[in-house]
Amino acid sequence: MNRAIHVLLSISFVFGLCTVSQANSAIEIEHTQLEVRISGRAYSLDALIARPSKLEAGERLPVALISHGAAGRELPGSLTLALLSGWVRSFGARGYLAVAIMRRGYGESDGPAIRGKDTCEHPEPEAYLQKQADDIAAALDAIGRRGDADSDKVLLVGHSAGGAAMLALAAREDVPVSAVLNISGGTFRYRPGEPLLPDVFEGCELYSQAMDTTFVRLAQTNHVPTLWLYAVNDPYFPPRLARRWMNLWLKSGGQGQLQILDAYQSNGHRMFIHREGQEVLWPKIDRFLKTQKFPTWNDAKFDELRRALGPRQRQKLNKFLASGTAMKAFAVPIDGKTKSYWFTDAFSLQGARAEAYEFCRQDSGQDCIVVVENFEPTGMIPGRLNRKSKSSGDE
């Protein structure tokens, strides 16, 4: 697809999301601008916010703050909130105040994008990451002023340069952070006009050494739990590099778990921005969230439903839940214990519900019910409904 067309579609998708606010949806989504101050100057940062639609009076939600990687050889404005919308919806469906931001110069955010001015001979990756962290810190401060934000429970989620920037932010003593998800995190020096080498640090060894030093320094003041996820076929930060950085991190006082994931398509660095890649990442993330006492979906809620389903339906339900992404629905025939149907990654929960129901009805030839929406059972139990309808007919 032509890149200009792709950018236009991405922008249209984000603006479409900001109109989603349906009474029976599980989450509300808002496209907004965060008014912030960075180094004494005022900026507007492009943001997408999702949260459960129903809150108790005065209820505050844990914050999941999400940010992107660097543009590399692309124009920073070509990266949009569409890249992060799946993450926002999925965290919102788990009970978070989920906020995705575009840093300065990216998407529709004000200001020039922060580009590294250093060279292979004079590398300054830590300074670059700290400038990125300034934007994220300013966004976190703006979010903390909301009445629905629990600033004592903050999860940072970042990809590539955004992942490393989240680690830099968590190392600041004056910033309230509870945990960090670093997905394919790191940075390296781009060489304009030159093709990428299989080893992006080849011929730039001083930069590689500076990255080592950066992780050592950040770990010394970063004492929150962190999860690092990298694909085995990441062309920029391969397993040997991720393992080296994690070893330095742990030896320098940081807390962290590193997981090297199976190869993802042709480029494992991109799994963060693809829905299929997110489905690979979510099971690992959910386990980490449970360990750290952060909200995630509760498997025990589905015990009653599982008892009413057939073996094949239970297997499909487990796969549906483990995929992790939101805006989805799971339907089964009222009478029958073999078939099941689901629709995921819909524009809205209402759309997912309608698609799953219609798919089930047309394929099975029976009346159907939606038994799960996102990560919540609807309370509809197929066998129980069938028995009730028969009893009513006999009376």
| Nearest by Cα to 318 from 336, 332, 330, 333 | 330
What is the Cα–Cα distance from 269 to 277, expressed in whole angstroms?
Answer: 10
Q: What is the pTM of this model?
A: 0.89
> Whose CA is closest to 68, among 159, 165, 169, 185?
159
Output the six-digit token pair for 256.
């962290």
State which H helix or E strand residue 34 sits in. strand 27-38
Q: Are 39 and 367 in contact (CB under 8 A)?
A: no
Alpha carbon distance 133, 151 (integer Å): 17
What is the structure's pLDDT at 284?
97
CA-CA distance, 128 to 45, in Å (whole number)? 19
Q: b/e string for 265-302 if b means 16 or more Cβ within 10 A?
A: eeebbbbbbbeebbbbbbebbbebbeeeebbbbeeeeb
pLDDT of residue 157: 98
Q: How far apart are CA 93 and CA 98, in angstroms?
A: 9
Domain layout of the chain by residue ranges: 3-291, 299-394
Domain 3-291 is in which class? alpha beta
Cite the DSSP H helix spans in 78-204.
85-93, 125-144, 161-170
128, 160 Cβ separation under 8 angstroms: no
Q: Are 71 and 106 in contact (CB under 8 A)?
A: yes
Cβ atoms of residues 90 and 282 within 8 Å: yes
- pLDDT on residue 344: 86
Q: Would you state the pLDDT for residue 193?
A: 62
Helix (H) or strand (E) holding 219: helix 205-221
Q: How many CA atoms lie within 13 A of 171 on its CB side?
A: 23
Q: What is the rounded distance in angstroms from the CA atom of residue 190 to the CA atom of residue 136?
A: 23
The predicted pLDDT at position 8 comes to 29
pLDDT at 2: 32
User: Residue 3, SS3?
Assistant: helix
* Rounded alpha-carbon distances, angstroms, from residue 188 to 106, 218, 230, 254: 19, 17, 16, 22
Tokens 């910033």 belong to 175
Q: What pLDDT score does 110 carry? A: 94
Question: Please, which contacts does 32-39 make with residues 24 or more away whose CB atoms are closer than 8 Å?
Answer: 33/108, 34/101, 34/138, 34/139, 34/142, 34/143, 35/142, 36/135, 36/138, 36/139, 36/141, 36/142, 37/138, 38/104, 38/111, 38/134, 38/135, 38/138, 39/134
Which residues are bridge partners to 259 per DSSP?
229
Low-confidence ranges of the chain (pLDDT < 50): 1-25, 386-395
pLDDT of 346:
75
- CA 319, CA 317: separation in Å to the nearest integer? 5
